[in-house]
């Protein structure tokens, strides 16, 4: 699946839930599937600035020319958000990540149901993922 197909799948999955408590529960479940960053790499170089919670995201360009991400957070909802972003962008080429629209977050309605600080954190995570992809695209 490409980025747009993964985004569409998430929109469909979330739109099937009418109550926001159910959507938060789904986010928490998604957090349990997040490609975990080892404790040894939970340091300031991977810490996302601007998040209410502590969240770390690491990116690696593999030999196949695609970027793979790992993440972790000390908050379950934040970890779920990170997991969703990693699902969409991990295993994709850097240019595809940089160029990808992220309107799926608006379609899910996620930003409007997060506190302002969590919404800022979501924006910071997304910005960092795109910055990693941009930097890694120059290594190719």
Catalytic residues: 51
Please report where in the chains the tokens 């908050």 appear, as a residue.
75
**Separation of first and last alpha carbons in the chain:** 22
| Host H or E run for residue 67 | strand 67-73
Cβ–Cβ under 8 Å, residues 80 and 53: no
Beta bridge partners of 10: none
Distance CA 7, CA 53 (A): 24
> 73 exposed, middle or buried (CB, 10 Å; 0-12, 13-18, 19+)?
buried
């Amino acid at each position: 699946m490409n980025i747009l197909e993964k985004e569409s799948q998430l929109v469909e999955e979330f739109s099937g839930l009418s109550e926001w408590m159910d959507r938060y529960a789904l986010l928490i479940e998604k957090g349990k599937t997040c490609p975990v960053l080892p404790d040894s790499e939970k340091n300031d170089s991977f810490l996302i600035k601007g998040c209410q919670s502590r969240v770390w995201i690491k990116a690696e360009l593999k030999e196949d020319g695609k970027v793979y991400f790992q993440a972790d957070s000390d908050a379950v909802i934040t970890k779920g958000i990170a997991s969703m972003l990693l699902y969409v962008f991990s295993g994709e080429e850097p240019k595809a990540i940089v160029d990808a629209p992220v309107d799926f977050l608006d379609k899910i309605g996620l930003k409007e149901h997060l506190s302002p600080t969590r919404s800022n954190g979501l924006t910071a995570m997304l910005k960092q993922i795109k910055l990693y992809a941009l930097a890694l695209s120059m290594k190719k």
